[in-house]
Amino acid sequence: MPEPSARLSPEPPAGFGALLPHMRTEAPGPRSRELATLLERHEAPTASTLARGQVPVFWERTRDANILDVDGNLYVDLTAGFCVAVAGHSNPRIVAALSEQAAVMMHSQGASNPNPLRARLAQRLAELAPGNLSVSHLANTGAEAIEVALKTARLHTGRSMVIAFQGGFHGKTIGALAATSQNYYRAPFQGELGGVVHLPYAYCYRCAFGREYPACDTFCADYVRHVIEMPDSGVADIAALVVEPVQGHGGWIVPPPSFLAKLRRICDDHGILLIADEIITGCGRTGRLFAVEHAGVVPDILTVAKGLASGFPISAMITTPEIAAAWKPLQHTSTFLGNPVGCAAALASLAEITERGLVARAAEMEGRFRERLDQMQRRCALIGDVRILGSMAGIELVEDRRTKKPAAAQAARAVANALQRGVMATNLGGTYHNVIKMSPPLVITWEQLSVALDLLEESVQQAA
């Protein structure tokens, strides 16, 4: 079989970025299938859906909320590339910033010889982060940011244990994986993953305690206190509690604001550091710059990644000067720390988010999602629960609303149906893989959003 040529399609159609779906072939098309054969031949199964027998759609161009694949199919993206393209795919301001920086200097020598943009980004993060979170450690991925957050908490407190939550996802490097709860990722390395206990999250639709909110008064948070204060619980020497303000991989689970507020008080009462994992929710995604603001909570450590540069790999751990002082000089460095191109992209992305009113737009998107998905739920018996915060919207599919039996197969079919209609969504969410998650670029047009949701509803109905 001949090798697929590395070509770039002709210029995209006028208005690319704000266009509605248009399909030329089935998805994935023939060229995607050719490329999949090549990729399967030479790439390890660690990072490819091909190992599961799933042929992916290969992207060729992106802009704002549009994706053009290698077969010429045009999609509206309801995922922002796993929550990354907050300011839009291939945002021109960000592209210009990283291109200009790359032409001058692509790399400076990590910790030894910083670049000016690294200083500027550290300053900007200090200006934007809540409370006294004014010092940062830059990295490349969300997992790296979590790694340094967990290390920082253990150094500062002199303790070793961490509390995390069932359904939580914090990365797949060893330290982050210990805090991640999904057994699929943990099982091969279980012997290396000590020092973390997982407790029930505020998953009100499937409460682990069989209670209902608000009558329960967020009993799940009270249970965290019970475990900490019970002498023989087996949980002691706790350095940190790490929590996603909205669970991402767990299925877009939006807890009541009192959940985070109670966790903050529990941490204060016991000298535990509260780590807010805002890798998904940060940078305006939820209608606030950081999701903890909805609960009026200031964490001790905050991590950001995906939306920080809207497409370029860079992340940060942000904390207070007092907590950061637990480190000795140069105890946690990396070659690409504070990469100048990444810093340029992050500064441009933050400027777009703050100057173009994208945080407010995410808040407005919540209302539009709410109206449309509530209507969809009334018409689609498969939809058991609707969960929305800002531009994060999820629908949990069930076979029976009374028993809440997960409808994972139907969710997969619905997402596949949507793909054939030119709508990118994901069904990778939830403990039972039955949550269709949406997190569009904040620059998506209202027409694109409306049409995409119409097509998604058709896809869900077809999957029943």
Domain boundary among 304, 338, 355: 355
Cβ contacts of 30 within 8 Å, gap of 6 or more? 71
DSSP code per residue over 360-390 = HHHHHHHHHHHHHHHHHHHH-TTEEEEEEET
* Residues 240 and 334 grouped into a single domain: yes
Asked, for residue 281, whether it belongs to a domain, the answer is yes
80 and 98, same domain (yes or no): no
From CA 224, how far away is CA 234, in angstroms rounded?
Answer: 13
Tokens standing for residue 127 = 């200006």
Domain-located, residue 162: yes
Rounded Cα distance between 111 and 28, Å, is: 43
Of 307, 325, 355, the one marking the end of a domain is 355
User: Which pLDDT does position 11 carry in this prediction?
Assistant: 77
Residue 22, in any domain of the structure: no
Number of continuous H segments (helices) and E segments (strands) in the chain: 14, 16
pTM of the model: 0.96
Q: Are residues 147 and 106 in the same domain?
A: yes
Contact 287, 246 (CB under 8 A): no
Say if 395 falls within a structural domain: yes
State how many domains the chain has: 2
Angstrom distance (rounded) from CA 121 to CA 124: 5
> What is the CATH number for 205?
3.40.640.10
* pLDDT tens digits for range 367-417: 999 999 999 999 999 999 999 999 999 999 999 999 999 999 999 999 999
pLDDT at 47: 77
Task: Note whether 284 and 268 are same-domain residues.
Answer: yes
In angstroms, what CA-CA distances link 360 with 79, 246, 307, 445? 19, 18, 16, 14
**Same domain flag for 162 and 150:** yes
Same domain, 190 and 294: yes
List beta partners, residue 142.
Answer: none
Per-residue pLDDT reduced to its tens digit, 19-36: 999 999 999 999 999 999
Say how far apart CA 308 and CA 134 lie, in whole Å: 16
Is residue 15, in this structure, part of any structural domain at all? no
The residue from 355, 377, 412 where one domain ends is 355
Q: Is residue 18 part of a domain?
A: no
The confidence score (pLDDT) of residue 1 equals 43
Residue 6: predicted pLDDT: 52
Same domain, 307 and 441: no
3-class secondary structure, 317: strand
Residues 66 and 144 in one domain: no
Q: Are residues 187 and 310 in the same domain?
A: yes
Tell me whether residue 3 is in a domain: no
Which ranges of the chain have pLDDT less than 50? 1-2
Question: What is the rounded distance in angstroms from the CA atom of residue 261 to the CA atom of residue 202?
Answer: 12
Q: Within a domain: residue 304?
A: yes
pLDDT number for residue 44: 87
Domain extent at residue 198 = 93-355
Residues 262 and 297 in one domain: yes
